[in-house]
Amino acid sequence: MKTYGKTQVLSSSIKRLSLLGLAAIMLMGTLGCSKTAPGDSAALQQQTAKETAAAQTILQVNGSTSVEKLMTMLSDRYTAKNPGVSLQIQAPGSSAGIKAVHDGNAQIGMSSRELKGDELTWGLKETVIAYDGIAVVVHPSNPVKDLTTEQVNAIFSGKITNWKEFGGADQEILLVIREAGSGTRDAFEEIVKLFEEKDGKKVSTIAEDRAIIADSTNAITQNVSGKESAIGYVSLGSLNTSSTIPLKLNGVECTADNIKNKSYAISRPFLLLTQGTPSAEVQPVLDYILSADGQALVTEEKFIPVQ
């Protein structure tokens, strides 16, 4: 009963305190409102915002999620040197970016694949800023070290389902793939021909019913490194050689040099696109990215420079 009395005293004092606090907050709220409303600080702020807007060139950059990370870093460095320019980068995917440039909604498009179909007729100018390879990775204990592009196709389309066909253990092959819509998956399907035309639509032929689907490159690496029978694919920039082993493809190792001289089969360019000749605002950005400084950053991010 003694403790009960104590808690009651305590709770009533808390009540009183919180009442006071609430009243204080409300009072401050009303005071604050009446102060700022006619005040001149807001007007001042508006003015400065206008001034900076007038001085700044804003470039809309739109496209691939794979290019976005590199582009953001390049843009940070560029705008640090050229404070008058700001780049607004959005990444809804390569196709959307290519279309945005064509429609005039963006000055620069980012694509992690070559242009195809209709896009080739739109008069877009491509600038290759880097190359990226896609490594096919397996568990370190897997004796299979080398596959052909056709064999990779057969594995991912589910035509061959056991490692013993390639001299490996008698073990069912476990596919680890990215979700529908992923840029890396798109490029992989495109290059390894894991698609077919159906009613005019491109349809993936990856055997999804035999696969584990991971939502990021890191999740792919984790899954492959944890399972002896797994095979997956990751961008060379995110390859982790301590927990997964990249396979040779048609006898060619997945290295920066082999991607640059195109002997490694699964590689893709990172493109920047402009409608026609780049404008006077855009050209310096492209020049910077292709400069030694810009390309050094490309190498730093583990992509392959073009110069």
- Give CA–CA dist 294/187, Å, rounded: 24
Handedness of CA 94, 96, 99, 104 (dihedral sign): negative
If binding is defined by CB under 8 A, does position 58 make contact with other proteins? no
101: number of Cβ within 10 Å: 26
> In angstroms, rounded to a whole number, what is the distance separating the alpha carbons of residues 101 and 234?
28
Taking the complex as a whole, the smallest distance from the CB of residue 266 to other proteins amounts, in Å, to 20
Which residues are CB-neighbours of 306 under 8 A, at least 6 positions away?
Answer: 128, 129, 130, 131, 290, 295, 298
Under rule CB under 8 A, which residues in 76-115 are in contact with other proteins?
A: 92-93, 96
Nearest residue (CB) to other proteins, 112 versus 274: 112
Residue 117 CB neighbour total at 10 angstroms: 7
- Let me know: does 182 contact 211? Beta carbons within 8 Å: no
Distance CA 217, CA 234 (A): 6
Q: How far is the CB of 96 from other proteins (least distance, A)?
A: 7
Q: Which stretch binds other proteins (CB under 8 A): 4-12, 114-122, 162-170, 223-231?
A: 223-231
Residue 28 in the binding site for other proteins (CB under 8 A): no
Please tell me whether residue 174 binds other proteins under the rule CB under 8 A. Answer: yes
187 binds other proteins, rule: CB under 8 A: no
Q: Is 181 in the site for other proteins (CB under 8 A)?
A: yes
Q: Which stretch binds other proteins (CB under 8 A): 69-77, 114-122, 194-202, 292-300?
A: 194-202
Residue 214 makes contact with other proteins by CB under 8 A: yes
Name the residues that contact other proteins, by CB under 8 A.
19, 22-23, 26, 65, 92-93, 96, 174, 179-182, 198, 201-204, 208-209, 211-215, 219, 222-223, 226-227, 230
